[in-house]
Amino acid sequence: MLTVKQLLSACGLETPHDQIKLVRHSDHLGRSIRQIIADGFFDPYQAEQSPIAKPFHHSDVILSFIGIERNQAEFYGAYKVRGWRDFKKKDFASVPS
Where do the H-state alpha helices sit in the chain?
Answer: 4-10, 33-38, 42-47
Q: Which of 77, 59, 58 is nearest to 21 (CA)?
A: 59
Other C-beta atoms lying within 10 Å of the C-beta of residue 64: 19
Question: Which pLDDT belongs to residue 66?
Answer: 92
Mean pLDDT of 43-59: 73
Residue 95 has pLDDT above 70, yes or no: no
Judged on CB neighbours under 10 Å (0-12, 13-18, 19+), 59 is buried
Q: What would the mean pLDDT of 78-87 be, rounded to a whole number?
A: 76
What is the DSSP-derived secondary structure letter of residue 55? T
Residue 16 pLDDT > 80, yes or no?
Answer: no
Q: What is the mean pLDDT of residues 41-64?
A: 77
Residue 48 clears pLDDT 80, i.e. is over it: no
Residue 54, SS3 per DSSP:
coil
pLDDT reading at 83 higher than 70: yes
